[in-house]
Amino acid sequence: MKKTSKNRRNFIIQSSMAAGALSLGSSFILACNGKNKPSESNEGKAPAAKKDSLGIALVGLGNYATYQLAPALQKTENCHLAGIVTGTPSKEQVWMSKYDIPKENVYNYENYDEIANNDDIDIIYVVLPNFMHAEYTIRAAKAGKHVICEKPMAISVEECEQMIAACKENNVHLSIGYRLHFDPYNLKVSELGQNEVYGKVKKITGAHSFKLNDPHAWRAKQDLAGGGPLMDIGIYVLQGAIYTMGENPIEVSAKYGEVTRPDIFKDVEQSIDFTLKFPGGATAEATTSYYDTANFLRGEAEKGWWELKPAYAYSGIEGETSEEKLTYPPVNQQTLQMDDFAKCVMNNKKSKVPGEMGLRDMKIITSIYESADKKETVKINW
């Protein structure tokens, strides 16, 4: 039975929970409020004060952490930069000085698990290459820390399931770094599509591509990235189609693009095109590439259309509909994203971008690769 517009409003959380239930059973719902620690006598101890700002430790100090997350944390209200984890000793003093981070809140990958003993750090944000996401999320959960994991959640469905299970077992929250769920332009797209403002959606088109010219980049190595542009930036178009429709796709057809730089793209695809089919008959045609430039998301409905171009940028997103130009005040997506998660932790509420959403997306990505490999349409079983 087709979902009504009203039902679609809560679709993202409901469907991602259902995806998790497929693998983890009915008891998968994430518990919250920190890891249960060994019992201690509380005699003579004052009750712990409730924090009004949670400490975040960034794990991995690459470009995204350096130029997006750390600056965004200077603007947050519910959380703050409290620590770092890095395998590069030369970065330690730079970050300590710039952000006033005490030495005891600086870790490396060898002593990472000791973070369990640090009450200054409540949340760990994993910003590492894709193949490390599962390990460092699971270790963070075992340390009793809530976790934000950068997208893609992991490099396989099985890893996503393990991450969700670890956070459940250790009573911590898990969120995925889907920043566009906090961007007003992309939220507007969700409203236009899911509420059928211009009637039923007929077709979605989108693309996200950039040129990768470094043959040594970890993104070009299958064992490190888990795939090519689909895993990295194509996931934005995939997400855009789903939050436009407010329902999961039921089948996919895909094909790999031509390889013009075999010196770079030996392990992963250079580009891939895929078409998603939704239960109501709408389709989403998407392209993602490491050897092109593109950035847009468009929806066409019975009585109108809308488009974001660029759609997935950190800032400077622009949009219009068949009736008007969309104009919203600029926001810092990462600031809103991290503040929202901190508030979820404080109030014991589930994130709007939970681990189950990352699991859902990995199931779809796996089906896209299967379709391209087999050169046939693949049904997605939920």
pLDDT digit string (tens) for 206-243?
Answer: 999 999 999 999 999 999 999 999 999 999 999 999 99
**pLDDT of residue 1 exceeding 60:** no
Q: Where are the domains of the chain?
A: 12-22+52-182+331-354, 184-329
pLDDT at res. 158: 98
Are the beta carbons of 182 and 76 closer than 8 angstroms?
no
pLDDT at res. 66: 98
Strand partners, 271: 289
pLDDT at res. 246: 97
Instruction: Give the integer Cα–Cα distance in Å for 120 and 51.
Output: 10
pLDDT at res. 50: 64
Residues 6+ apart with CB under 8 A from 217: none
Domain 12-22+52-182+331-354, CATH number (from 1.10.3720.10, 2.40.110.10, 2.60.120.10, 3.40.50.720): 3.40.50.720
Kindly report the CATH number that applies to the domain delimited by 184-329: 3.30.360.10
What is the CA 145 to chain-centroid distance, rounded? 18
Instruction: Give the integer Cα–Cα distance in Å for 342 and 356.
Output: 18
For the chain, percent of residues with pLDDT exceeding 90: 86
Are the beta carbons of 122 and 345 closer than 8 angstroms?
yes
Which of the residues are catalytic? Answer: 151, 236
Residue 246, both tokens: 């407010």
Residue 114, both tokens: 């000791």
pLDDT tens track for 11-47: 433 443 333 333 333 222 222 333 333 333 333 333 4
Q: Kindly report the pTM of this predicted structure.
A: 0.87
Comparing C-alpha atoms, which of 276, 197, 196 is closest to residue 238? 276
Long-range contacts of 140-143 (CB under 8 A, 24+ apart): 140/59, 140/115, 140/172, 141/35, 141/166, 141/167, 141/169, 141/170, 141/172, 141/174, 142/35, 142/113, 142/116, 142/166, 142/170, 143/35, 143/113, 143/115, 143/116
Length of the chain (residues):
382
pLDDT at res. 51: 84
pLDDT tens track for 275-319: 999 999 999 999 999 999 999 999 999 999 999 999 999 999 999
Which ranges in the chain belong to alpha helices (H)?
5-8, 11-24, 63-64, 70-73, 89-99, 133-142, 157-169, 184-194, 222-225, 229, 235-245, 333-346, 355-374
